[in-house]
Structure 1
Amino acid sequence: MGHTELAALLAVADAPGLTPGALAQELLLSTGATTAVVDRLEKSGHVTRSRHPGDRRSLFLHLTAQGEGTTTTLREAYQYVLSTTGTDETIAEALPQLDSIAAALDAAARESVS
Protein backbone atom coordinates (compact mmCIF):
# COMPACT_ATOMS: atom_id res chain seq x y z
CA MET A 1 0.00 0.00 0.00
CA GLY A 2 1.38 3.37 -1.01
CA HIS A 3 1.48 6.76 0.64
CA THR A 4 -1.67 7.98 -1.15
CA GLU A 5 -3.70 4.97 -0.03
CA LEU A 6 -2.48 5.39 3.56
CA ALA A 7 -3.34 9.10 3.49
CA ALA A 8 -6.79 8.23 2.15
CA LEU A 9 -7.34 5.69 4.93
CA LEU A 10 -6.40 8.24 7.57
CA ALA A 11 -8.72 10.83 6.01
CA VAL A 12 -11.65 8.39 6.04
CA ALA A 13 -10.77 7.35 9.61
CA ASP A 14 -10.87 10.99 10.69
CA ALA A 15 -14.14 11.69 8.85
CA PRO A 16 -16.30 8.57 8.52
CA GLY A 17 -18.80 9.01 5.71
CA LEU A 18 -16.45 11.24 3.74
CA THR A 19 -17.46 11.59 0.10
CA PRO A 20 -15.03 10.77 -2.70
CA GLY A 21 -15.15 14.44 -3.77
CA ALA A 22 -14.18 15.62 -0.30
CA LEU A 23 -11.44 13.00 -0.21
CA ALA A 24 -10.11 14.32 -3.53
CA GLN A 25 -9.92 17.82 -2.06
CA GLU A 26 -8.25 16.54 1.10
CA LEU A 27 -5.60 14.62 -0.85
CA LEU A 28 -5.24 17.26 -3.57
CA LEU A 29 -6.02 14.69 -6.26
CA SER A 30 -8.22 14.76 -9.32
CA THR A 31 -11.54 12.97 -9.03
CA GLY A 32 -10.29 10.32 -11.45
CA ALA A 33 -7.17 9.65 -9.38
CA THR A 34 -9.28 9.53 -6.22
CA THR A 35 -11.64 7.00 -7.79
CA ALA A 36 -8.63 4.80 -8.58
CA VAL A 37 -7.38 5.08 -4.98
CA VAL A 38 -10.81 4.22 -3.57
CA ASP A 39 -11.12 1.32 -6.03
CA ARG A 40 -7.81 -0.11 -4.76
CA LEU A 41 -8.80 0.37 -1.12
CA GLU A 42 -12.17 -1.25 -1.69
CA LYS A 43 -10.63 -4.17 -3.59
CA SER A 44 -8.11 -4.72 -0.77
CA GLY A 45 -10.92 -4.75 1.80
CA HIS A 46 -10.01 -1.51 3.58
CA VAL A 47 -13.00 0.69 2.70
CA THR A 48 -16.59 0.35 1.62
CA ARG A 49 -18.73 2.68 -0.45
CA SER A 50 -22.34 3.22 0.54
CA ARG A 51 -25.00 5.17 -1.30
CA HIS A 52 -26.84 8.10 0.25
CA PRO A 53 -30.41 6.91 0.91
CA GLY A 54 -31.93 10.09 -0.53
CA ASP A 55 -29.50 10.71 -3.39
CA ARG A 56 -28.25 7.64 -5.23
CA ARG A 57 -25.56 9.73 -6.93
CA SER A 58 -23.83 10.44 -3.62
CA LEU A 59 -21.42 7.96 -2.08
CA PHE A 60 -20.01 7.76 1.40
CA LEU A 61 -16.74 6.08 2.37
CA HIS A 62 -16.28 4.03 5.53
CA LEU A 63 -13.45 1.93 6.89
CA THR A 64 -13.89 -1.80 7.22
CA ALA A 65 -12.51 -3.66 10.23
CA GLN A 66 -9.36 -4.28 8.18
CA GLY A 67 -9.12 -0.56 7.37
CA GLU A 68 -9.51 0.31 11.04
CA GLY A 69 -6.76 -2.14 11.93
CA THR A 70 -4.43 -0.67 9.33
CA THR A 71 -5.03 2.90 10.51
CA THR A 72 -4.50 1.89 14.13
CA THR A 73 -1.20 0.23 13.22
CA LEU A 74 -0.16 3.26 11.18
CA ARG A 75 -0.95 5.69 14.01
CA GLU A 76 0.92 3.50 16.52
CA ALA A 77 3.96 3.37 14.23
CA TYR A 78 3.82 7.14 13.78
CA GLN A 79 3.68 7.66 17.55
CA TYR A 80 6.57 5.25 18.05
CA VAL A 81 8.73 7.07 15.52
CA LEU A 82 7.95 10.42 17.13
CA SER A 83 8.68 9.10 20.62
CA THR A 84 12.02 7.58 19.63
CA THR A 85 13.22 10.28 17.25
CA GLY A 86 14.09 12.85 19.83
CA THR A 87 12.91 14.98 22.66
CA ASP A 88 9.80 17.12 22.49
CA GLU A 89 12.11 20.11 22.16
CA THR A 90 13.92 18.62 19.15
CA ILE A 91 10.62 17.79 17.47
CA ALA A 92 9.24 21.27 18.24
CA GLU A 93 12.28 22.84 16.60
CA ALA A 94 11.81 20.76 13.44
CA LEU A 95 8.06 21.35 13.07
CA PRO A 96 8.25 24.82 11.45
CA GLN A 97 10.59 23.49 8.78
CA LEU A 98 8.38 20.47 8.18
CA ASP A 99 5.31 22.72 7.99
CA SER A 100 7.06 24.87 5.37
CA ILE A 101 7.97 21.81 3.32
CA ALA A 102 4.41 20.47 3.58
CA ALA A 103 2.95 23.83 2.54
CA ALA A 104 5.26 24.02 -0.48
CA LEU A 105 4.34 20.48 -1.51
CA ASP A 106 0.62 21.23 -1.08
CA ALA A 107 0.94 24.36 -3.22
CA ALA A 108 2.77 22.43 -5.94
CA ALA A 109 0.14 19.68 -5.84
CA ARG A 110 -2.71 22.21 -6.10
CA GLU A 111 -1.06 23.80 -9.13
CA SER A 112 -0.64 20.44 -10.85
CA VAL A 113 -4.30 19.47 -10.24
CA SER A 114 -5.76 22.76 -11.51
Structure 2
Amino acid sequence: MLTSPGIFAPGGLLGAGLQSATWIYILRHAGFALFVIAYALLKDSDPVKWPSQGSTRTAIVASVGLVVALACGTTVLVTASNAFMPRVMLDMTQFSDLWVYVAAPTTALFVLALVLL
Protein backbone atom coordinates (compact mmCIF):
# COMPACT_ATOMS: atom_id res chain seq x y z
CA MET A 1 0.00 0.00 0.00
CA LEU A 2 2.91 2.36 0.63
CA THR A 3 4.01 2.21 -3.01
CA SER A 4 0.54 2.31 -4.60
CA PRO A 5 -0.13 5.68 -6.23
CA GLY A 6 -3.11 7.60 -4.96
CA ILE A 7 -3.59 5.87 -1.60
CA PHE A 8 -1.40 7.95 0.72
CA ALA A 9 0.21 10.27 -1.82
CA PRO A 10 -0.29 10.98 -5.55
CA GLY A 11 2.87 9.08 -6.53
CA GLY A 12 2.87 6.60 -3.66
CA LEU A 13 4.21 7.27 -0.19
CA LEU A 14 7.60 5.82 -1.06
CA GLY A 15 7.54 7.73 -4.35
CA ALA A 16 8.28 4.57 -6.27
CA GLY A 17 5.63 4.66 -8.96
CA LEU A 18 3.09 2.41 -10.53
CA GLN A 19 5.47 -0.31 -11.71
CA SER A 20 6.88 -0.87 -8.23
CA ALA A 21 3.44 -1.37 -6.73
CA THR A 22 2.54 -3.81 -9.48
CA TRP A 23 5.75 -5.83 -9.19
CA ILE A 24 5.48 -6.00 -5.40
CA TYR A 25 1.94 -7.34 -5.86
CA ILE A 26 3.13 -9.96 -8.36
CA LEU A 27 6.13 -11.04 -6.27
CA ARG A 28 4.01 -11.24 -3.11
CA HIS A 29 1.55 -13.60 -4.77
CA ALA A 30 4.29 -15.69 -6.40
CA GLY A 31 6.14 -15.87 -3.09
CA PHE A 32 3.07 -17.12 -1.27
CA ALA A 33 2.47 -19.78 -3.91
CA LEU A 34 6.12 -20.88 -3.65
CA PHE A 35 5.76 -21.07 0.14
CA VAL A 36 2.71 -23.32 -0.20
CA ILE A 37 4.55 -25.51 -2.71
CA ALA A 38 7.53 -25.83 -0.36
CA TYR A 39 5.21 -26.69 2.51
CA ALA A 40 3.39 -29.30 0.46
CA LEU A 41 6.66 -30.93 -0.58
CA LEU A 42 8.22 -30.88 2.90
CA LYS A 43 5.24 -31.64 5.14
CA ASP A 44 5.70 -35.42 4.98
CA SER A 45 9.50 -35.44 5.11
CA ASP A 46 11.36 -36.91 8.06
CA PRO A 47 12.60 -34.09 10.36
CA VAL A 48 15.39 -36.33 11.65
CA LYS A 49 17.07 -36.06 8.24
CA TRP A 50 17.04 -32.25 8.27
CA PRO A 51 20.50 -30.70 8.57
CA SER A 52 19.76 -28.66 11.70
CA GLN A 53 18.46 -30.06 14.97
CA GLY A 54 18.48 -26.74 16.86
CA SER A 55 15.79 -25.45 19.14
CA THR A 56 12.31 -24.53 17.99
CA ARG A 57 12.84 -20.94 19.12
CA THR A 58 15.92 -20.64 16.89
CA ALA A 59 14.01 -22.00 13.90
CA ILE A 60 11.14 -19.56 14.45
CA VAL A 61 13.43 -16.55 14.85
CA ALA A 62 15.44 -17.56 11.78
CA SER A 63 12.26 -18.03 9.72
CA VAL A 64 10.82 -14.67 10.76
CA GLY A 65 14.15 -12.98 10.10
CA LEU A 66 14.40 -14.56 6.66
CA VAL A 67 10.87 -13.50 5.72
CA VAL A 68 11.44 -9.92 6.91
CA ALA A 69 14.78 -9.74 5.07
CA LEU A 70 13.22 -11.07 1.84
CA ALA A 71 10.28 -8.67 2.06
CA CYS A 72 12.47 -5.65 2.77
CA GLY A 73 15.05 -6.63 0.15
CA THR A 74 12.40 -7.18 -2.51
CA THR A 75 10.74 -3.86 -1.70
CA VAL A 76 14.02 -1.95 -1.83
CA LEU A 77 15.08 -3.66 -5.06
CA VAL A 78 11.79 -3.09 -6.85
CA THR A 79 11.42 0.47 -5.53
CA ALA A 80 14.97 1.51 -6.40
CA SER A 81 14.78 0.02 -9.90
CA ASN A 82 11.30 1.29 -10.77
CA ALA A 83 12.52 2.93 -13.98
CA PHE A 84 14.10 -0.34 -15.14
CA MET A 85 11.21 -2.69 -14.34
CA PRO A 86 9.19 -3.99 -17.29
CA ARG A 87 6.02 -1.92 -17.74
CA VAL A 88 3.17 -4.14 -16.67
CA MET A 89 0.73 -1.28 -16.08
CA LEU A 90 0.22 1.47 -18.63
CA ASP A 91 -1.77 3.64 -16.22
CA MET A 92 -4.00 3.14 -13.18
CA THR A 93 -6.61 1.18 -15.17
CA GLN A 94 -4.87 -0.47 -18.15
CA PHE A 95 -2.53 -3.44 -18.27
CA SER A 96 0.15 -3.75 -20.92
CA ASP A 97 0.46 -6.81 -23.15
CA LEU A 98 3.22 -8.03 -20.84
CA TRP A 99 0.64 -8.71 -18.10
CA VAL A 100 -0.30 -12.04 -19.69
CA TYR A 101 3.30 -13.25 -19.44
CA VAL A 102 3.50 -12.19 -15.80
CA ALA A 103 0.06 -13.28 -14.57
CA ALA A 104 0.08 -16.71 -16.26
CA PRO A 105 3.14 -18.09 -14.41
CA THR A 106 1.84 -16.72 -11.11
CA THR A 107 -1.52 -18.38 -11.70
CA ALA A 108 0.24 -21.60 -12.68
CA LEU A 109 2.13 -21.50 -9.38
CA PHE A 110 -1.17 -21.22 -7.49
CA VAL A 111 -2.64 -24.14 -9.43
CA LEU A 112 0.47 -26.23 -8.76
CA ALA A 113 0.27 -25.33 -5.06
CA LEU A 114 -3.36 -26.46 -4.89
CA VAL A 115 -2.57 -29.70 -6.71
CA LEU A 116 0.33 -30.47 -4.37
CA LEU A 117 -1.76 -29.77 -1.29
Judging by fraction of residues, say which structure has more helix.
1
- The structure that has the greater radius of gyration is 2
Fold match by TM threshold 0.5: no
Judging by fraction of residues, say which structure has more strand.
1
TM-score under structure 1 normalisation?
Answer: 0.39
TM-score under structure 2 normalisation?
Answer: 0.38
Greater RCO structure (CA 8 Å; 6+ sep): 2
